[in-house]
A and B are shown apart, each in its own frame.
Chain A
Amino acid sequence: MVKLDAAKKTTREINVALKKAAERGEEILVSNPGARHNLGVCILKKCKITFDGSVGYYCASMLNGPEVLVKGNAGWGFAEHLMSGTVRLTKNASLAVAASMKDGEVVIEGHAGARAGISMKGGLLAIGGNAGFLTGFIAQKGRIIICGDVGEAAGDSMYESLVYVGGKVASVGTDAKVVDVTGEEKKWLGETLERLKLKARNGVSWKKVESTKTLYQFDKLKLKDRRVV
């Protein structure tokens, strides 16, 4: 295992060292991240990275393949634009966690701030605690699981994404509605949370926020109309 002390290095030195270790497929432990920004970004190989402490903005963003564990809190844009791999956070995430992720899994053991999963295009975002205001805003595809409550305007202007909520939904956003989950979905939720080692609260009643599809029309156009567009 490669050990890296972030306190003694510049952000660029840390990221270069991480990329080199990833090229060799090594396991990396970064100590003293000190809530600094832009750590562990743009790593396009399979490898295992652990940050022993809180990280700042855009940590673990633009990844394709790595398995990242952060033992602490994260700032804005955590795990942004994940292409594949898994990113896990043991405490709370700030705003716009997993923004525009395309695939892979992002797991937040604590709470997430506003605009979690904004503009998601695929994959799974699982949150052990509560999620904030505008969760799933303009999300196109992929699924968000929230074990706790979700804030106001959940699923605002969403396309094909689905937001599963174990606790309360403060309110839904424009063009979103709350519906019941099917038996199959319940089974999937149980299995997924067990695999991800997340716990839903006792007496959880799963519900789903989805798009009412009155705002977006792309696929509803007839063929001759599409030509005009």
Chain B
Amino acid sequence: MCGLAGIFYKNQSLRRKAPVGAQLVKMMAAMRHRGEDSTGYTISGESVGAGNVLARLCAPRAACDAEATRLSRRRENGAEFIAALKAIQKLGGRIQSRNQIGRHLRLVFGYRKDLRAVADALLAIPVLEIHSLGQTSEIIKDEGDAMALDAKHHISAFHGTHGLGHNRLATESQVDVRHSHPFWAYPFPDVTTVHNGQLTNYHKLKRIYEEQGYRFQTHNDSELIAVYLADKLAHGADLIHALQDSIQDFDGTFTYLVSTSKGIGYAKDKFAAKPLVVMERADVVAVASEEVALRQVFPEEIERAEPQQSLCRVWLN
């Protein structure tokens, strides 16, 4: 089933960053029934500054591996995280801040060259996962429901201009952090997606992208959407055209949301198989699988639209 949510503040109306973290937590908590295997968020809009990179890394083994736990106690890092820091420094990156919560590491480092080199160096470290790389967005995802994630990762404290949320009910691939949504699009900064549905031509398309040198971190069909869109954007397509093309190129059922550094968008399959309701006001846009989620943030009776088959739309600042 899976539940999706997205929120987008139109820049001109925003004097300071909006509490998108707290709002997404409320929305995802209201759609808990759509999946409790894992929950994830993209929070976007707070830039770490030009020349800096914001990374979200995860080392699932670190917490259970005795050796790593000892290291972790001593130096606040698992073995994989130490290797990651070394790899970044070797490429000329200057570590500016690091913050570790259990198996998760939030890292800011100064780096002006190609992100692909960093991504490849990090992915060469066994077990280490890249959740996101970018300048204005970060992915926070973990096993458990919206409230559990908020308690552990303090999602409610995050501010920004836009963001995505996802409740996962796994139908494809494993139930673990690695296979949770949102997915970051290797190796493009700030492109992330959440998906509800199944892509049936996943293997065929994945092979095409792998032949072009793209790397996939999981066996989850949804990761393909992120890579597909980022590839289109890298080749100069507008986000809206990338979404339009995807409706033709993807087989199966899907409603997915995408977040870039500029804003969010959605696309729906040709069967209108998966739900999405959209509420748009002069200052803010909120989308979710169910109206009940929107009502947590906008408790009054709202005007909402329900896009049908083969439709897509974007909101960008």
Interface size class of A (residues with CB under 8 A): 20 to 34
Q: Are A56 and B292 closer than 8 Å at their CB atoms? A: yes
Closest CB of chain A to B263's CB: distance in Å? 25
Q: Are A56 and B308 closer than 8 Å at their CB atoms? A: no
Chain B 265-299 interface mask (CB, 8 Å, partner A; 1/0): 00000001001010000000000001110110001
Complex contacts, A56 vs chain B, CB 8 Å? 290-292
Complex contacts, A114 vs chain B, CB 8 Å? 272, 308-309
Asked if B210 CB lies within 8 Å of chain A CBs, one says no
Q: Are B292 and A35 closer than 8 Å at their CB atoms? A: yes
Q: Are B304 and A76 closer than 8 Å at their CB atoms? A: no
Q: Are B291 and A75 closer than 8 Å at their CB atoms? A: yes
Asked if B176 CB lies within 8 Å of chain A CBs, one says no
Complex contacts, B308 vs chain A, CB 8 Å? 113-114, 132-133, 151
Within 8 A of B (CB), among A115-146: 115, 132-134
Closest CB of chain B to A117's CB: distance in Å? 15
Complex contacts, B305 vs chain A, CB 8 Å? 92
Q: Are A94 and B306 closer than 8 Å at their CB atoms? A: yes
Q: Are B291 and A54 closer than 8 Å at their CB atoms? A: yes
Q: Are B306 and A113 closer than 8 Å at their CB atoms? A: yes
Considering the chains assembled together, what is the distance between the CA atoms of A95 and B304 in angstroms? Answer: 14
Q: Please, which residue of chain B has its CB at the minimum distance from the CB of A32?
A: B299
Closest CB of chain A to B257's CB: distance in Å? 18
Within 8 A of A (CB), among B100-144: none
Within 8 A of B (CB), among A39-61: 53-54, 56-57
Complex contacts, A115 vs chain B, CB 8 Å? 272
If A35-B291, A132-B272 touch, whether A73 touches B304 (CB-CB below 8 Å) is yes
Complex contacts, B306 vs chain A, CB 8 Å? 92, 94-95, 113
Closest CB of chain A to B176's CB: distance in Å? 29
Specify which of B33, B299, B301 lies most central, judged by the most chain A CB atoms within 10 Å of its CB.
B301
Q: Are A37 and B292 closer than 8 Å at their CB atoms? A: yes
Complex contacts, B33 vs chain A, CB 8 Å? 37
Asked if A34 CB lies within 8 Å of chain B CBs, one says yes
Q: Are B272 and A95 closer than 8 Å at their CB atoms? A: yes
Asked if A36 CB lies within 8 Å of chain B CBs, one says yes
Q: Please, which residue of chain B has its CB at the minimum distance from the CB of A7?
A: B299
Within 8 A of B (CB), among A60-97: 72-73, 75-76, 92, 94-95
Considering the chains assembled together, what is the distance between the CA atoms of A134 and B271 in angstroms? Answer: 9
Closest CB of chain B to A133's CB: distance in Å? 5
Considering the chains assembled together, what is the distance between the CA atoms of A92 and B309 in angstroms? Answer: 17
Closest CB of chain A to B209's CB: distance in Å? 31
Which of B272, B290, B301 is the one whose CB lies under 8 Å from A113? B272
Q: Are B290 and A57 closer than 8 Å at their CB atoms? A: yes
Chain B 27-45 interface mask (CB, 8 Å, partner A; 1/0): 0000001000000000000
Asked if A175 CB lies within 8 Å of chain B CBs, one says no
Specify which of A35, A53, A56, A57 lies most central, judged by the most chain B CB atoms within 10 Å of its CB.
A35
Q: Are B291 and A76 closer than 8 Å at their CB atoms? A: no
Complex contacts, B299 vs chain A, CB 8 Å? 34
Asked if A152 CB lies within 8 Å of chain B CBs, one says yes
Within 8 A of B (CB), among A92-108: 92, 94-95
Which of A54, A57, A72, A133 is the one whose CB lies under 8 Å from B309? A133
Considering the chains assembled together, what is the distance between the CA atoms of A152 and B277 in angstroms? Answer: 20
Q: Please, which residue of chain B has its CB at the minimum distance from the CB of A93?
A: B306
Specify which of B291, B292, B302 lies most central, judged by the most chain A CB atoms within 10 Å of its CB.
B291
Within 8 A of A (CB), among B79-118: none
Q: Are A54 and B301 closer than 8 Å at their CB atoms? A: yes
Considering the chains assembled together, what is the distance between the CA atoms of A52 and B304 in angstroms? Answer: 17
Which of B275, B292, B304 is the one whose CB lies under 8 Å from A34? B292
Closest CB of chain B to A136's CB: distance in Å? 15
Q: Please, which residue of chain B has its CB at the minimum distance from the CB of A34?
A: B295
A35-B292, A54-B295, A132-B309 are known contacts; what are 6 more A-B pairs with Cβ within 8 Å? A37-B292, A75-B290, A95-B275, A114-B272, A132-B308, A151-B308
Which 7 pairs of residues, A with B, have the shortest CB-CB distance? A35-B291, A114-B272, A35-B292, A133-B309, A132-B308, A35-B295, A56-B292
List 30 contacting pairs A-B, 8 Å CB cutoff, sorted by A. Answer: A34-B292, A35-B290, A35-B291, A35-B292, A35-B295, A36-B292, A37-B33, A53-B301, A54-B291, A54-B295, A54-B301, A54-B302, A56-B291, A75-B275, A75-B291, A92-B304, A92-B305, A94-B306, A95-B272, A95-B275, A95-B306, A113-B306, A113-B308, A114-B308, A114-B309, A115-B272, A132-B272, A132-B308, A133-B308, A133-B309
